[in-house]
Amino acid sequence: MYTVNENTSGNDVVLQLENVEFRRNRRVIITDVNLTVRAGERWVLFGPNGIGKSTAVGMLATRTFPSEGRVFILGHQLGKYDVFKLRSRIGLASADLGRQFPEFEDPLNAVVTGLTAVTGKWRDEYTDEQYARARQLLRDFSVGYLEGKHMWRLSEGERTRVLIARALMGDPELLIMDEPTTGLDLGGREQVMRTLSRIGSEDSRRAVVLVTHRLEEIPAGFDHIAIMGRKPVPAEDAAGAAGSFRDGIDAAGNPSAGTIVYQGPLEEGLTDERLSDLFGMPIEVEHSHGRWSAYAV
């Protein structure tokens, strides 16, 4: 059972970000980020490139710590609990994680080590049953043929599917997928989308967060969305003629920090007006056959 800080009602909170800010080299990357994800919810973290989604994912996956504010994961405050105990309860699929494996790692081992959240089998031992599950997950993503090969030889699409299989290996309480269809061709993308739709529609207490900048890659079954945009720059801090409140450019010429500009039901969040404002151009949103798409008009 999850227990969170005294300010949170209910005992089913899996993720909670309170007034989170992250700075790098004295530049504020994200600020005023507040988000609560409960058990069984399927969330999309959406926004343009460079808005701070990967920074947020780093915190959700216990790889990054906030400069300000508090992050609670599975009932424990980040920075005040052993992150290695948390990581075995979190399934993560991301390109950054994929780059951390030894070049000659067998993809089968990359999947089975998801049980212990390590990158590299080293001296760890796993049971025949655990290897059987890892093989089945590889087959589920049509990459069973990769067993015995090396991670460095995989195409980007193959690596993506191996990482999703790894993320599911430990039947995690929290599943985070950062741009999971990156590098896939149409067939590979749709194959992964079918699996993601099954995950989104499953009757499970698992909380799922999918990160993307493309509406077309939102699977069926996901019903919550957090949209990240630029925090408005106060007029006195704007860069004069070179920038404005709307442009989100500060006096140093840097884009303003990212923040969550909407969170709530998916259907209410993905509107023409909201996306047009987010991307600075007229956008038309369509929802057909359980899939989303957007076009400049």
Regarding whether 289 and 209 lie in a shared domain, the answer is yes
CB of 90 closer than 8 Å to CB of 173: yes
Regarding whether 159 and 231 lie in a shared domain, the answer is no
Q: Is 96 a domain residue?
A: no
- Looking at residue 253, its pLDDT comes to 62
- Looking at residue 42, its pLDDT comes to 96
- Looking at residue 89, its pLDDT comes to 93
What is the Cα gyration radius of the chain?
A: 20
- Looking at residue 5, its pLDDT comes to 42
Regarding whether 112 and 84 lie in a shared domain, the answer is no
Regarding whether 132 and 75 lie in a shared domain, the answer is no
CATH code, domain carrying 23: 3.40.50.300
Regarding whether 77 and 27 lie in a shared domain, the answer is yes
Q: Is 196 a domain residue?
A: no
Domain around 155: 101-171
Regarding whether 208 and 139 lie in a shared domain, the answer is no
CB of 285 closer than 8 Å to CB of 272: yes
Q: Is 287 a domain residue?
A: yes
Q: Which of 78, 75, 42 is nearest to 60 (CA)?
A: 78
- How many CB atoms within 10 Å of residue 1? 6
Q: Is 144 a domain residue?
A: yes
Regarding whether 274 and 178 lie in a shared domain, the answer is yes
Regarding whether 141 and 71 lie in a shared domain, the answer is no
The count of domains in the chain is 2
Regarding whether 156 and 213 lie in a shared domain, the answer is no
Regarding whether 243 and 229 lie in a shared domain, the answer is yes
CB of 30 closer than 8 Å to CB of 20: yes
- Looking at residue 8, its pLDDT comes to 41
Regarding whether 275 and 165 lie in a shared domain, the answer is no
pLDDT digit string (tens) for the chain, length 297 residues: 333 443 444 469 999 999 999 999 888 999 999 999 999 999 999 999 989 999 999 999 999 999 999 999 999 999 999 998 999 899 999 888 888 999 999 999 999 999 988 888 887 899 999 999 999 999 988 899 999 999 999 988 888 889 999 999 999 999 999 998 877 888 888 888 888 888 888 888 999 999 999 999 999 999 999 999 998 766 555 544 444 434 555 556 667 899 999 999 999 999 999 999 999 999 999 999 889 999 998
Q: Is 25 a domain residue?
A: yes
Q: Is 21 a domain residue?
A: yes
Spatial distance between the Cα atoms of 10 and 78, rounded to a whole number of angstroms: 19
- Looking at residue 247, its pLDDT comes to 53
Regarding whether 156 and 177 lie in a shared domain, the answer is no
Q: Is 290 a domain residue?
A: yes
pTM: 0.86
Tell me the three state secondary structure of residue 242: helix
Q: Is 192 a domain residue?
A: no
Give the burial class of 170: count Cβ atoms within 10 A of its Cβ; 0-12 exposed, 13-18 middle, 19 or more buried.
buried
CA distance from start to end of the chain: 48
- Looking at residue 80, its pLDDT comes to 93
